[in-house]
Structure 1
Amino acid sequence: MSPVDAMKEADAVRAMRAAPMFSAVGEGAVRRLLLRCGLRRCSAGEAVFEAGQRAEGFFVVLSGRVKVFKLSPKGDEQILHLYGPGRTIGEAAMWAGLPYPAFASALQDSVLLPVPQATLRQCLASDPDLVMGMLAGLSAKLHEFARLIEELSLKDVPARLAGALLAESRRAGAPRFKLPQTKKELAAQLGTVPETLSRAFRKLKAAKLVELRGSVLVLRDSARLARFAGE
């Protein structure tokens, strides 16, 4: 059984086409790229790549979740992004000919599509639609980084938390969901510490915007929460 057979090919193609980079690319071209690259399975906690490692390709998350983070000189972790199915990681460094600027590791058992640069170049040479899709994906990534910089510099922690909870609710497709990361990881993602994050949660609960029911978080008023987040 080939690596792609182990995960249903149709499911893998669907996950790839959920990525902005491949959303405008024909299904046949996506399938050909998938079959040429194969799959990589990562256990929870397993490194995907390290900061400073040569970027010889990029990755598409097909299932699971991957965190991208940096380490301070003291070893403190700053989570930059959490990527789920349909997200791409590492393409900017690959095209720039630079090392990966951050670390990446699986938050949970995950299936990734590693796309080597040499393989991608061969596919791009014969498929203009793939070229346009790649440009769209890089543009979306730039907008995402700009949004992250704005949030970290202009918004306080409760507003950042509100935005993160709204984003997770949209990914879950419901106002009730389980947080996919620990509070420590969420605090690092928001550029703060767990104690400050706990105070932000208490502020949102006191305002009757969110409610915690066991391990399930409930957004009580998404519209008000969006205004609180500055959206």
Structure 2
Amino acid sequence: MNHFQHRLADPNEAAVRLVPAHNSREGLCGTLSKAFRPGLLSAAAALELAQLGQFQKIPAKTLFIRADEPASALWLLVNGTVGVGCHDEQQQWRQTRTIHAGHWIDAESAWLGGNYLESARAETAVSAYWLPVREVEQAFVTRPEIARSLLAAVAERVRRVSGDAHDLLAKSVLARCAGWLIDELQTSDQSSAVVMNQHKRAIASQLGTSPETFSRMLRQLCDMKVIDMDRYRIHVRDAQALQRLSNGALAHGAKT
């Protein structure tokens, strides 16, 4: 790990490299509201959270949260795309999920009193918001809705992990690929197009398959006239067919 990565992994050195939160407070309040379930967090509570933490600008392909570092903060993605996962014994990156702007990168590790549960890597240049867990705990006293909102966010994360585990066991690679496309569409700036800004290896790892099989599933979706591909851009031609495929069981599609 180089010196730059080490500094990024250690939030205690915030004064040298972080931008005060009030510089973009209005936009951050909107991002914080989006990160929680609708109606749980008031505007006043969002403003209080926007004053507790600090922004961090992170270059693309930088590992900025490490699973072997003490977890002392909650991390929210403001702009860009982040991959979450870990490195295996051969130092190969194994991605478990993709985070898009407006979603939590890690809202759970800091409550356990140990290290971060997974590492996080900037897939594009990103802007993240760093919330020290001690200050957040203090805010619970005057703003209990913050605690309820964070509890709901962690519960939603547990629900998603359970669903992902079920999909890996019960669904074919084709179904998982279709489900991934649906998830990406929901965060895309365009209603019917997805731009792959990550390596296929990282996406395939997230789906529990190989890059070759992932590419083959995309070609199969093209042959079925469900999608069109133009290099890194995927255009969805038939969203209903994509939804039906995402619900498919193992017997109805290609195996891993």
Alignment TM-score > 0.5, same fold: yes
Counterpart CA distance in 1 for 2:231 and 2:94 is: 27
Q: Where does structure 1 differ by over 6 angstroms across 4 or more consecutive aligned residues?
A: none
Q: 2:193 aligns with which of 176, 189, 193?
A: 176
For residue 200 of structure 1, report the CA deviation from its aligned partner: 0.9
Deviations 1:53-96 (A, max 9, x none): 11111101111111111222222322111111121133222112
Q: Is the 8 A contact 1:22 1:134 kept in 2?
A: no
Counterpart Cα distance in 2 of 1:68 and 1:161:
18
Please name the residue that 2:222 is paired with: 205
* Match among 130, 133, 140 for residue 146 of structure 2: 130
Are 2:171 and 1:155 aligned?
Answer: yes
User: What is residue 101 of structure 1 aligned with on the other side?
Assistant: 117
AA of the residue aligned to 1:171: T
Kept in 2, the 8 Å contact 1:40–1:111? The answer is yes
C-alpha deviations, 1:75-120, integer Å up to 9, x for none? 2322111111121133222112231122111111111111111110
Q: Distance in 2 between matches of 1:64 and 1:156?
A: 29
Q: Superposition RMSD on alpha carbons, in Å?
A: 1.8
Determine the structure 1 residue equivalent to 2:206: 189
Structure 2 regions of 5+ residues with no counterpart?
Answer: 1-18, 249-256
Give the gaps of 5 or more residues in structure 1. none
2:151 counterpart letter in structure 1:
L
* Deviation sequence 1:138-197 (CA, Å, 0-9, x none): 111111101111122222211111111111112115112312322222112212221111
Distance of 1:218 and 1:38 partners within structure 2: 37
1:56–1:116 CA contact under 8 A, matched in 2: yes
Residue aligning to 2:11: none
Question: Alignment identity in percent?
Answer: 22
Contact 1:22 1:130 in 2 (8 A): no
* Secondary structure in structure 1 of the residue aligned to 2:182: helix
Give the whole-Å Cα distance in 1 for the aligned partners of 2:39 and 2:179. 25
Deviation per residue, 1:3-43 (Å, 9 max, x gap):
3354x322111111110268621112211221221211111
- Partner SS for 2:197: coil
Change (3 A) 1:180 1:91: same
Partner of 1:90: 106
**Count of aligned positions:** 229
Partner secondary structure for residue 51 of structure 2: helix
Q: Counterpart of 1:59 in 2: which secondary structure?
A: strand
Q: Does 1:221 align with 2:238?
A: yes
Partners of 1:75 and 1:153 lie apart in 2 by: 26
Structure 1 residues 113-136: Cα deviation after superposition (integer angstroms, max 9, x where no partner): 111111101111111111111111
Q: Does 1:65 align with 2:77?
A: no
